[in-house]
Structure 1
Amino acid sequence: MSLLLTHTKYRFLETIRVPIAVVGNTFFPSASMLFFVVPFAGDDPLVATLATGSMMTFSVMSTALFTHGLGVADDRAQPWDPYTRTLPAGPWPRFGSNILNGLIMTLLGILPVLVIAATLTEATVTPAQLLLGLGALLVASIPFTLIGLFVGYLLPAKAAIAVVQLVLLPMAVGGGLLMSPTDPPAFIAAVAPFLPTRGGAELVWAAVGGPAPRALPLAMLAVWTVVAGALAVWAYRRDEGRRFS
């Protein structure tokens, strides 16, 4: 545990030494709140609350993909990474510190969204609903963390950033995160249940007082998690075999 916390501390310090990484992590969800939620749904308590849940899901998704996808790929390009992977501590402190650092960055990303929702909209939740919503966000982040690890261990940094960007926007739009949670276009309504973004968003919506999640989006969230987990393990072992065998 001490090794895990030490790795996490230095990984976090390494991240915040590049301030634009923190700014970028918070900018897009906050800007989406200001441009899409506040003007169009801010006066309706239920819709504003659900839309805030969507933006928080978007923030979690973005942070997981960039932190793990681009971060791991960039680490693999540094000479320090192969050295630490040969140490007798094993992979867990390094691997676990990636996940914990991602959770810290996720918290930093959703805080501005919460502040905007509380001050500029009629969104409202009880303390219990807020805690449930944070738990639902943690579950929603799992497939995107695994997808990020898969991309990070499979591709070099220049390719990883392009792939992460190609995954992020279609997943967000296709899952209905950037439009009305109660009245999406027909095409989005048809596609969204098959994407992990929708399953995660419906969990968050239910936690903050919205409708109960449907079976299909939850099942697909589980399927994406299992498949992404298998791909992440495969990519890690492939990288290990190529670099250290």
Structure 2
Amino acid sequence: MSSLVAAHTRILLLEQLRVPIGLAAGALFPAVSLAAFVVPFTGDDPRAATMATASLTLFGAMSQAIIGLSVTVAQDREQPWNPYVRTLPAGPFPRFAGRILAMLAQMVLAVVPVLLVAALFTAATITPLGLLAGLVTLLAGVVPFMLMGLFIGFLLTAKATIAVSQLLFFPMGVLGGLLLPPQILPGFLEAVSPFTPARGVAELLWAVTAGTTPGVVSLVSLAAWTSLAAAGAVWAYRRDEGRRFA
């Protein structure tokens, strides 16, 4: 089974690398945002620059998790190859696991330009252990967003998925304080921010990279969102399975 998962992961990564525009967009937007909005204003503040770097790495990873995963899952469902794979003796697990692993690899690649800009042009500082802890936190923290991507991808067509995933992703990033510090958001948005999943993951990232203390409300909200997204993803998968193979 592990060899099948590895084979699917390799194939899916090659597919993405042959048409790298999605990967490039997910990687370059956070890096450009860091260069344009963080470097000139807070680039010389080590703590602020470190927190901004963590926020924008999460923003890029969220893009891959919500938009990238939902679109590829929806496109897979529309291809004749996917139903055939799901009827094989190995079942859908190898390709499904390969898709998740390939997406995680793309997220790691998307983080690199942001870290390079931060290292070269800001005063952001972090120890090797802190960097590793931040990367692990990032990969664990995108789980609820990947579940959201799966929910959308299994529920909608590829064309509808593109629009819905973008409408979900960008407001969630803004409300979560990833593009602007939460404390300078308008009053109503600042009050709503702790209840978004992006804010919960961001606070965990800020804690391991800049030594802040996560808020209880944000962490409880993150757990609730993760549970809800998991239930939605399972329901959407079973609905799709029933429609295609019942």
Q: TM-score normalised to the size of structure 2? A: 0.96
Alignment of 1:172-187 (within 5 A): 172-180=173-181, 183-187=184-188
Aligned length: 245
SS in 1 for 2:96: helix
1:15 Cα offset (Å) = 1.1
What is the aligned partner in structure 2 of residue 126 from structure 1? 127
| Deviates most, 175-184 or 108-117 | 175-184
What is the aligned partner in structure 2 of residue 8 from structure 1? 9
| Deviates most, 197-206 or 180-189 | 180-189
Q: Which amino acid in the other structure matches residue 137 of structure 1?
A: L
1:102 Cα offset (Å) = 0.8
What is the aligned partner in structure 1 of residue 153 from structure 2? 152
What is the aligned partner in structure 2 of residue 53 from structure 1? 54
C-alpha separation between the residues in 2 aligned to 1:187 and 1:32?
Answer: 24
What is the aligned partner in structure 2 of residue 20 from structure 1? 21
| Deviates most, 225-234 or 186-195 | 186-195
Q: Which amino acid in the other structure matches residue 200 of structure 1?
A: V
1:183 Cα offset (Å) = 4.4
1:90 Cα offset (Å) = 1.5
Aligned Cα root-mean-square deviation (Å): 1.1
Q: Do the aligned residues in 1 keep the contact of 2:67 with 2:169 (CA within 8 Å)?
A: no
Q: Do the aligned residues in 1 keep the contact of 2:182 with 2:193 (CA within 8 Å)?
A: no
1:182 Cα offset (Å) = 5.6
1:113 and 2:114 equivalent? yes
C-alpha separation between the residues in 1 aligned to 2:183 and 2:38?
Answer: 13
What is the aligned partner in structure 1 of residue 225 from structure 2? 224
| Deviates most, 189-198 or 15-24 | 15-24
Q: Which amino acid in the other structure matches residue 232 of structure 1?
A: A
What is the aligned partner in structure 1 of residue 213 from structure 2? 212
Q: Which amino acid in the other structure matches residue 152 of structure 1?
A: G
State the identity %: 53
What is the aligned partner in structure 1 of residue 240 from structure 2? 239
Q: Which amino acid in the other structure matches residue 189 of structure 2?
A: I
C-alpha separation between the residues in 2 aligned to 1:124 and 1:183?
Answer: 23
SS in 2 for 1:179: coil
Q: Which amino acid in the other structure matches residue 138 of structure 1?
A: L
1:83 and 2:84 equivalent? yes
Q: Do the aligned residues in 2 keep the contact of 1:50 with 1:210 (CA within 8 Å)?
A: no
Q: Which amino acid in the other structure matches residue 243 of structure 2?
A: R
SS in 2 for 1:208: helix
Q: Which amino acid in the other structure matches residue 141 of structure 2?
A: A
C-alpha separation between the residues in 2 aligned to 1:231 and 1:184?
Answer: 30
What is the aligned partner in structure 2 of residue 161 from structure 1? 162
1:96 and 2:115 equivalent? no
C-alpha separation between the residues in 2 aligned to 1:147 and 1:81?
Answer: 20
Q: Do the aligned residues in 2 keep the contact of 1:176 with 1:198 (CA within 8 Å)?
A: yes
| Deviates most, 121-130 or 35-44 | 35-44
Q: Which amino acid in the other structure matches residue 92 of structure 1?
A: F
- Unaligned segments of structure 2, at least 5 residues: none
C-alpha separation between the residues in 1 aligned to 2:133 and 2:183?
Answer: 21
- Unaligned segments of structure 1, at least 5 residues: none
C-alpha separation between the residues in 1 aligned to 2:14 and 2:141?
Answer: 26
1:205 Cα offset (Å) = 0.2
Alignment of 1:32-51 (within 5 A): 32-51=33-52
SS in 1 for 2:207: helix
1:210 Cα offset (Å) = 3.0
What is the aligned partner in structure 2 of residue 71 from structure 1? 72
Q: TM-score normalised to the size of structure 1? A: 0.97
What is the aligned partner in structure 2 of residue 198 from structure 1? 199
